[in-house]
Amino acid sequence: MSFAAAAASPRNRVLAVCAALVIALLAVAALAPLPVSIVVPGLTADVLGTNKGQQVITITGTTTRRTTGQLRMTTIAATQPDASVHFSDIVKAWFAKDEAAMPRDAVYPTGGTVQEIEKHNQAEMTQSQDAATAAALGHLGLSPSKVKVSLHLADVGGPSAGLMFTLGIIDKINGNGSGGDLTGGKKIAGTGTITTSGTVGAVGGVPLKTQAARRDGATVFIVPQGECSDAQAELPSGLRLVPVTTLDSAISALKALNGGGGKVPSC
């Protein structure tokens, strides 16, 4: 015996309409661009060396010394501020160790064109370099009216290289104060802003910066103390974290690391 199919009930029709709407919304969400940037480990640069054929740190007005080892500033690279990032990109970044999805506002200043954002980032870099110079010369007791420091680092913006610039200036002029290098001949990387008084500030993207540092051969990473937990999240094998809060604490940690006495801080 056969029966004709029964007409769909009102409830089933409502469920079908709701399901179609959910599917449509998910499709829109998957395809719609989101206010997010995808970031990855960026370049690193030895501030004691050269960048694109030019010395990163040039000092006049006082004697300088030959250095060994490296002090590598670290960066993250992000999708362009006008790039479209979709839900599928965020899912991919979620499962990748070398990618992260960050709110675009946390990566770029809001309300500007690409050119305006680049100008803003370069201005922050210039301010960071000025603060690094003031902090280094202040630490060494040198007058900025007599000692001139020029910093050159192409294609990098933002303030997060401040600490490494400061350490680089000090290493080129005074080393560890006892005739040796601040680095002890090691490849040391790091990140952190700096104020003219020598306070080290937090930055973003630390887990990706540690990966960039290890990729480029660093064995030690100087990190703002408040970001220890972030740095430990995806810490590459063979990279030692050294947390600092001030320029003085960074110099003391480097001296201790290289056998100069004292305890090396750890996260």
Domain count, the chain: 1
- Position 3 scores a pLDDT of 36
- Write phi, then psi, for 34 (nearest 5 degrees): -120, 155
Residue 212 lies in a domain: yes
pLDDT in tens, 124-169: 889 999 999 999 999 999 999 999 999 998 778 788 899 999 999 9
Residue 159 lies in a domain: yes
Average pLDDT, the chain: 86
Output 102 or 252, whichever has higher pLDDT: 252
- Position 99 scores a pLDDT of 86
pLDDT exceeds cutoff 60 at 215: yes
- Position 260 scores a pLDDT of 81
pLDDT in tens, 178-195: 889 999 999 999 999 999
Q: Identify whether the C-beta of residue 218 lies closer than 8 Å to the C-beta of residue 188.
A: yes
User: Sorting pLDDT into bands at 50, 70 and 90, what band is 36?
Assistant: confident
Question: Which helix H or strand E contains 72, and what residues bound it?
Answer: strand 70-78
- The domain in which residue 142 lies consists of 42-77+113-257
Which of 1-5, 94-98, 154-158, 200-204 shows the highest mean pLDDT?
A: 200-204
Output 32 or 6, whichever has higher pLDDT: 32
231/168 Cα distance (integer angstroms): 22
pLDDT exceeds cutoff 70 at 8: no
Residue 242 lies in a domain: yes
Residue 225 lies in a domain: yes
Q: What is the pTM of this model?
A: 0.83
What is the domain-level CATH number for residue 158?
Answer: 3.30.230
Residue 240 lies in a domain: yes
- Position 37 scores a pLDDT of 85
Residue 185 backbone class (left: φ over 0; alpha: ψ -120 to 50; beta: rest): left
Residue 37 lies in a domain: no
User: Picking from 24-38, 57-71, 203-217, 253-267, which range would have the lowest pLDDT averaged per residue?
Assistant: 24-38
Residue 57 lies in a domain: yes
Residue 31 lies in a domain: no
pLDDT in tens, 54-110: 999 999 999 999 999 999 999 998 887 777 887 788 888 888 888 888 787 777 766
Residue with tokens 């480097």: 254
Residue 147 sits at the vertex; the CA angle it makes with 69 and 164, to the nearest 5 degrees, is: 35
